[in-house]
Structure 1
Amino acid sequence: MLNTFDLTGKTALVTGCKRGIGRGMAEALAQAGADIIGVSATLELDGSAVGQAVEALGRKFTAYQSDFSDRVAVKAFAAELEASGVVPDILINNAGTIKRKPAAEHDDGLWDEVIEVNLSAQFVLSREIGRQMVARGSGKIIFTASLLTFQGGITVPGYAASKGGIGQLTKALANEWAGKGLNVNAIAPGYIATDNTQALQDDADRSKAILERIPQGRWGRPEDFAGPSVFLASDAANYVNGEVLVVDGGWMGR
């Protein structure tokens, strides 16, 4: 039964893999047996920390750079990948950004960048790779959602809107593709100690309030996403579709 979690022979494309949750997912999938295609805006094409970690596990790592705020660049990356002849077995849509500003001061530039990176680019990449997965008759697509897929947050209107959209995009794609051999799901991280939450970690009052609501009593870590990502990427999740799996230390239960 446990061999249903084995990803040997699979190839996983992980966006936003350079650090944080994306790196944790890439390393976990490699540990489960998958080769990794990594992409982010600033990923080193050779010698990256995530690449070295994947290769140390005996898996192949291929690096790409793409700016997810530039739709032309995202389409060019998808075309380059398709031209290489590689159709990933697993697509992890993890790349994202957050811009903190009160709604009355949240200008169009901030809104447009966040929506483009967190939602539009995710759809474009899923559409291009998903089309090939549908033709093959198999594939796993996993989005990184958020607690703000369900909640509104504070001073992050663009981020909340984008992550709410990710929840609905997950369901929309699952509705279309579940009967064609694909599984489309999402993972919603709680409060995780990464670059994106550094401002919250540094705010003593806000950090205290956050920790007081988390039953587990700590910030999450990238390694907390190893099991969930491997599960949703594996045959163990073959009958799971359109779900948003919350990994939050119990936050949403309070």
Structure 2
Amino acid sequence: MPRDSFPRIGLGTYSDDDREQWTDNVRTALEVGYRHIDTAQVYENEEYVGQGLHSSDVDREDVFLSTKTVHHDVPPDPEQVPEAIDGCLERLGVDAVDLCYVHWPTGIYDHETILSAFDDAYEAGKIRNVGLSNFTPELLEEAREILDAPIFAHQVEMHPLLPQEELVAYARKHDHWLVAYSPLARGEVFDIPEIRQVAEKHDASPAQISLAWLLSHDPVAVIPKASSREHAAQNLAAREIDLDDDDLELLDSIDRRRRLIDPDYGPWNR
């Protein structure tokens, strides 16, 4: 899939429990109009995401499917990296994914071993695009030196309380997507006065305004969760909200900062 046709709103599928729900959730999202589904090895739901994809009336090749492999808790054994990628494909029931991310560059992450294996999978056609997730600018530079494949996307937490200006600028400079996970700050955006004010102006929800704000940044895509047909449709409708300069100025003036996903092994904590 060409870079310019990347669906900028996708379905995020992380949940702490009830992983089987993602069969119905994925199928419903595709019926509503989603064409981008995001999962991960660590979510332990790839099997159910795959079932939702294959039971849908939407053709597989019309869906941008992404997943992530985790390497911070396994030895940097060259054999384990391709096995991890193959495991994702097997659980999803596909021959290839449109995008595979290195999930966390932490712990015993070895960039040469892991990224070389991603290059091999890219050359073999198992990974149509290579992505990185939760990298710092310094680690992105390191990855760019190792990878032969182009970096298609970098996935990070991003929302109005964590604007990620440096990573947005880096993505723009190096021509890759910045994909925002937790785009609603786990619901904290609902109570931000500036967001509520803009929402009232546009007869929209705070969630939709937060998504529209993210989409106003080029090249940013978003992957909010949705557990119902109504919720999924509301998220997609955020694409139609046209924020004006006054809206953006007000939203950019939010001075609260909060990172929700902040494990001790996060590379920004090292």
TM-score (norm 1): 0.40
Which structure shows the bigger proportion of residues in helix conformation?
1
TM-score (norm 2): 0.38
Q: Which has the higher contact order (CA 8 A, sep 6+)?
A: 1
